[in-house]
Amino acid sequence: MIEAPPEEPRELNAALDFVRVELVSRGFETRHGRVQALAGMSLHAAPREVVAVVGPSGCGKSTLLELICKLQKPDAGTIEAGPAALMPQRDLLLPWLSAIDNAALALRARGISRVQARSIAAPWLERFGLARFEHTRPAELSGGMRQRVSFLRTLLAGKPVLALDEPFAALDAITRQEMQGWLGRVLESEPRTVILVTHDVEEAVMLGDRVVVMSPRPGHTVSEIEVPLTRPRKRTDPAVVDLRERALTALGVQA
């Protein structure tokens, strides 16, 4: 399904492809007083490990990703992380750019010429099954295609760490399952250190090497679940079902 990479997006810095978050706290002043997003949050991801982070809505998951991407600074605690590229929750594709130019945005952001950026992105679009849609604008792409372009855009940033913020939350159930399978295969052939934030426990178990369960706000880790299963995984595999139930229990969800 996925062939050998046509070209590495960028040389990856092997020394800096882990994530270590130690007892991090982060709060915000709002009109309604102070909101503590994270309190004593710890998390680590080994090189090329996929860590899925699940938690209730508003538990500070997006704040965590922004901290890892160095878009914010923690109030307390330490964060060590390799260079990280964000994949935002909504695809945030630029409506005036074709699929290929959207995918190549990170390259253009570094000052690479349009022609060169396109020549780097083109083989990837083909690999992601988007060759026919190179010159299509996002408005005419399906939800699944848009997420693939969005993921490719983040991948082509060439960062060793990928911070994925609920990448498939906006998709319908069928497309979401397809995209989860797709992302699993891509990461198999294109391993990265991934922090995958999701509110979908099944998605976490299907994709993660480890599942970190967060508490409600102020967010911190309440449980870590190893997922010692080979890929590809099946949703119906008793081990997957069992791990999903364990994660739900850790979240405090009564089945």
Q: Which residues bind other proteins (CB under 8 A)?
A: 66, 69-71, 84-86, 88-90, 92, 94-96, 105-106, 108-111, 137, 139-140, 157, 159, 163
- The alpha carbon of 96 is separated from its chain's Cα centroid by a whole number of angstroms, namely 25
Spatial distance between the Cα atoms of 219 and 38, rounded to a whole number of angstroms: 4
Minimum separation from the CB atom of position 113 to other proteins (A): 13
Minimum separation from the CB atom of position 124 to other proteins (A): 16
Q: Is the peptide bond before 232 cis (omega within 30 degrees of 0)?
A: yes
Minimum separation from the CB atom of position 95 to other proteins (A): 4
Nearer to other proteins, 51 or 162 (CB): 162
- The alpha carbon of 188 is separated from its chain's Cα centroid by a whole number of angstroms, namely 14
Spatial distance between the Cα atoms of 138 and 105, rounded to a whole number of angstroms: 14
Measure Cα distances from 106 to 69, 116, 137, 156, 157 in Å.
15, 12, 17, 6, 5
Nearer to other proteins, 51 or 206 (CB): 51
- The strand pair at 50-54 and 76-81 is best described as unpaired
Nearer to other proteins, 44 or 108 (CB): 108
Minimum separation from the CB atom of position 105 to other proteins (A): 7
Nearer to other proteins, 52 or 141 (CB): 141
Q: Is 108 helix (H, G, I), strand (E, B) or coil?
A: helix
Minimum separation from the CB atom of position 233 to other proteins (A): 29
Nearer to other proteins, 18 or 229 (CB): 18
